Structure 1
Amino acid sequence: MKIVKICGQIEVLTGLHIGGGDDVMKIGGIDNPIIKDTNSGNPYIPGSSIKGKMRSLLEWNNRLVSYGNGSPFSSENLSKIPEPDKKSAENLLKLFGDSSSKNAFGMTRISVSDCKLSEESKNMKLSEAKMENIINRKSGMAEHPRQTERVPAGVKFDFDIRIKVLDGDSEEELVGMVKNGIELLESDYLGGSGSRGYGRVKFHIAS
């Protein structure tokens, strides 16, 4: 087995909101807080958010979404895939896992760590409150104001993705699919409210 590392930084280009729980209701406080590290209080990007979004985008990009009936693509649907697309479908299941009870491809190959705040960003402003509301179509007046907390543009996080390459795997194909997933994520968005311009990010790959 070989483990390939893809490391670097994620730069926030537009305000990023990945929600965190808040068990205390504060009058006049933020309605939708961002997720923060319990010990440091700094924001971070959960590895699960990156992994899940990459898988979703890769399923769309490889024309696999329609086979899952709303669920993640699994090996139960492989027999329906046209032969030219089958190899990509198999590599996706190798990388991200197979929800089928058969689990035909063994262990999940990709591991995405939580992305901690980069050292260079620790002295920056790490959150902003963006006011949002709904416009009443008849009166034209703003209604239901609420505050959403975001990580501001310019903040950077360190990322670490690791790929297990087992006997019989193609390192070039697996690593290539992960890098394609990164490109798709850069073209789309991370976190919530992407249709309103949130969550544009840039991956700076160091190794």
Structure 2
Amino acid sequence: MSALQRELRGIVRLGLKMETVTGLLIRMPVHAQVYRIGGADLYPIVTKRKYSLGGAEVEVEVPLVPGSSLKGRMRGLLELSLGKRLYTSDERIWLHARILWGTRAHPMSTDELIRDISGRCEVDEVFGSPAVGFDQLVEMLARDLASKQGKEEPDDADYEEAGKVARSLALNLALTRLLVDDMTPDKDYVGVLSENGRRILAISDFLEEKGENRIDRITSAADPRQVARVKPGVVFQGALRLLVFDIDKGYVKRNLELVAKGLRLVEETYLGASGSRGYGRVKFKDISVEVMKTFGAEKPEYRKLADLASVEALLGKVDEIAGEVEKTLFG
């Protein structure tokens, strides 16, 4: 086929803060935790960040919320709330994505793939999906055509028809639209906690320890453990960016609303581990919405569209914001 051309029209940026309402645990990998001497049996992911405190740049060890954790949680909740069918390539991780292969795969059928791409599935378009090679797609379509006609192998006519279908589907394809930052404690929160640099901070200032216990139902034997988790009231900062392509005219509202609903579902459930036991309740706040025109812009710059107190406020302004984005990026 001839080269596929896509235009990145612009980017919608959602700057936001996230406050922990209850203790939050996004676990540090076991191989990393073994290097921490003493302490809890389970430990959260941490990193080091520089903050301007008392007129100096100070490196502080702080908890980290990976962008992958937030994005994955949003996607999983949206798939369930929209009733999307789930697929897998390994029978371990099930999700709604354009999975076409695997050693023990339960992939999308050809008809499902065609419906997913031609129907502009919101989850796959916003959150992304595995890349599909054009030749692989043609081969899959041709073999499906041959099978429906009772043939063991596809012939030239099948490949020609498959090529037409594949080229038509390719017109709806673009890169993953939603980019999610890692989140670290907000600079203002860290400033207050450190008394503007007058007090030295350690990772313990952001964490609490929680004792847990498991009881054997047969012997009544106890299995206690200590969990270190981010304490309630810690404020994180980060951003989400929504890419807008040339094929997204008329879809900005749908995509932006999907992101807002994903954040709302996280608020109503949890983030990280042990959510059914009260961990991971969070609240998003102080949401700033900006748009930047990229295609044809000599000097791309963000322009503020709204400052909103909550996700509920964002949902209430989606129509207005989407309209302004489309006006800016598509004229």
* TMscore range, shorter length: 0.7 to 0.9
1:71 equivalent in structure 2:
94
- Is the counterpart of residue 45 in structure 1 residue 65 in structure 2? yes
Q: Residues of 2 paired with 1:203 and 1:6: CA distance?
A: 11
- Is the counterpart of residue 120 in structure 1 residue 188 in structure 2? yes
Unaligned runs of 5+ in 2: 1-8, 50-59, 101-107, 135-169, 195-204, 289-331
C-alpha RMSD over aligned residues: 2.5
131-140 or 185-194: which moved more? 131-140
**Within-5 A mapping of 1:49-198:** 49-67=69-87, 70-75=93-98, 77=108, 79-80=111-112, 87=119, 90-99=121-130, 101-102=132-133, 105-122=173-190, 123=193, 125-138=205-218, 140=220, 142-143=222-223, 145-169=224-248, 170-198=251-279
- Is the counterpart of residue 18 in structure 1 residue 26 in structure 2? yes
- Is the counterpart of residue 35 in structure 1 residue 115 in structure 2? no
Structure 2 residue identity aligned to 1:23: V
1:116-145 CA-partner distances (Å, limit 9, x unpaired):
1012322173100111111233454533x1
Q: Residues of 2 paired with 1:23 and 1:16: CA distance?
A: 20
Q: SS of 1:173's equivalent?
A: helix
Q: SS of 2:236's equivalent?
A: strand
The 3 A distance-change label for structure 1 pair 100 and 79 is farther
Q: Residues of 2 paired with 1:79 and 1:197: CA distance?
A: 42
Q: Which has the higher contact order (CA 8 A, sep 6+)?
A: 1
1:42-86 CA-partner distances (Å, limit 9, x unpaired):
1121111001111111111111144557532223538349x8xx8
The 3 A distance-change label for structure 1 pair 205 and 59 is farther
Q: Residues of 2 paired with 1:146 and 1:66: CA distance?
A: 35
Q: Residues of 1 paired with 2:35 and 2:271: CA distance?
A: 26
132-141 or 166-175: which moved more? 132-141
Q: Residues of 2 paired with 1:189 and 1:79: CA distance?
A: 35
Cα offset for 1:33?
0.9
Q: Residues of 2 paired with 1:205 and 1:185: CA distance?
A: 16
Q: Pick one of 194, 202, 206 that aligns with 2:283.
A: 202
C-alpha contact (below 8 Å) 1:7/1:161 kept by paired residues: yes
Unaligned runs of 5+ in 1: none
C-alpha contact (below 8 Å) 2:22/2:281 kept by paired residues: yes
Q: Residues of 2 paired with 1:100 and 1:64: CA distance?
A: 19
Higher CA-based Rg: 2
TM-score of the pair, normalised by structure 2:
0.56
Q: Residues of 2 paired with 1:15 and 1:102: CA distance?
A: 43
Percent sequence identity is 34
Cα offset for 1:102?
4.5
Cα offset for 1:38?
3.7
TM-score of the pair, normalised by structure 1:
0.86
2:311 equivalent in structure 1:
none
Cα offset for 1:90?
1.3
1:135-191 CA-partner distances (Å, limit 9, x unpaired):
233454533x11111111111101200000101211111111100111111111000
- Aligned residues, how many? 202
